[in-house]
Amino acid sequence: METKLIKTGTFVDNQEILGIELTNTHGTYVKIYNYGAIINKFVIKTKDGRQQDIVLGFDDFEHYLNEDYLANYPYFGAVIGRYANRIKNARFTIDGEVHQLSQSKGPDCLHGGDHGFDKKVWQVLSTIDPSLTLEYVSPDGEEHFPGNLTVQLTFKLTDDNELILDFKAVTDEPTAVNLTHHGYFNLSPNGGNVGSHLHHMPASHYLEQDDNYTVTGRLIPVEDTQYDFLAEKPFARDWDPAEGYDQSFVLDGPAGELVLASETRSKESGLKLSVYTTAPVAHLYTAKYVDVKDGKGGQHYGPFSAFCVETQYHPNAINIPSFPSTVLRPGDTYKMTTIYKIEEL
């Protein structure tokens, strides 16, 4: 087991960007940048000695700063904060005080605003084989969120090919917090469209969204809809081929306990990705809007070239009292764990 720091030679806001590789005893390894806490590589060493990278990204760090990439920005592999998904009208009220955020997606606030945690340099707190702890301190008023928020994220790679993400956050003023990781996965050995991937999600309800993909507060049963993944099926079986999936699901397991969020497998590679989380919601996105040139090995990533399982609290919950609260108060600690487990079938 090993943890290795790699200098990129690139500086952002006068801070050096580092790549940190975590390797387990099987030769599986993960590469993480301290910019955006981006998971750049998740390379599985299979039983026959083959290596397969299961996440989308770039061969070098500089591409994450490329203007063309940022113009059609998909948040490849980054941590999202302070608030995942959309906040209606980019506005919320805590204790009678209205907070107007950046309107980063039409009238709404998406993924924390114009410059969320995905575009911040995180400090490397510790590297203990094979784990990494990063910290970001978000100042009061950043993207118009109240309070100084300190976030710590620990990545740990186990010998069971589990990548564990442990989030913790504290604040000095009441604020809104909903963190997630925005990894783009493709389990096929040669990439391409993920429509043939087989997917299972133990979620009996999904969350209604308006025309801007913002959650309204209504829960809808998945039964007899395209959103029913209670039994495994290919992504493409029921999807609209022009739309794919971009939907939040409420998981059936007990809230706050580590439960299965999804299982996805590829017959081509024989790999299965299981996602476990303590969060109550998983947002499934099949990359409809992705159009990225110069990906790894010169690949052009197009629509439906990956899937995301973004574990989080209910989107827009800060404006929907019937949803679990996403208000963090001084003296309390935000905690959330997500595990990505890879198995070879």
The CATH number for 117's domain is 2.70.98.10
Residue 91 is predicted with a pLDDT of 98
**What would the mean pLDDT of 39-63 be, rounded to a whole number?**
95
In degrees and rounded to multiples of 5, residue 3 shows phi and psi of -125, 125
- Gap between the Cα atoms of 157 and 2, Å rounded: 10
Q: What is the pLDDT of residue 46?
A: 87
Active site residue 26: no
Supply the pLDDT for residue 47: 85
Catalytic residue among 181, 182, 197, 199: 182
Tell me, what's the pLDDT at 272? 98
How much of the chain exceeds pLDDT 70, in percent? 100
Residue 275 has pLDDT above 80, yes or no: yes
Structure tokens at 90: 């980019």
- pLDDT tens digits, 52-75: 999 999 999 999 999 999 999 999
Q: Catalytic: which of 143, 199, 310, 314?
A: 310
Residue 182 annotated among the catalytic residues of the structure: yes
Share of the chain above pLDDT 90, in %: 95
For residue 129, pLDDT beyond 90: no
Query: Sign of torsion, CA 340 118 319 327?
Result: positive
Q: Which residue type sits at 94?
A: I
Question: Exposure of 327 by Cβ count < 10 A (0-12 exposed, 13-18 middle, 19+ buried)?
Answer: middle
Query: Does position 1 have pLDDT exceeding 80, yes or no?
Result: no
Count of domains forming the chain: 1
CB-count burial class (<10 Å; 0-12, 13-18, 19+) for 321? exposed
- Contact yes or no for 207/250 (Cβ under 8 A): yes
pTM greater than the 0.85 cutoff: yes
3-state secondary structure of 334: strand
Q: Of 105, 179, 178, 116, which is closest to residue 144 (Cα–Cα)?
A: 116
Please provide the average confidence, as pLDDT, over all residues in the chain. Answer: 97
Residue 2: the pLDDT is 82
Query: Which helix or strand (DSSP H or E) is residue 309 part of?
Result: strand 308-312
Q: pLDDT tier at 115 (50, 70, 90 boundaries)? A: very high
pLDDT confidence of residue 177 = 98
pLDDT digits (tens, 9 = 90+) for 211-238: 999 999 999 999 999 999 999 999 999 9
Which residue segment(s) compose the domain that 198 sits in? Answer: 2-344
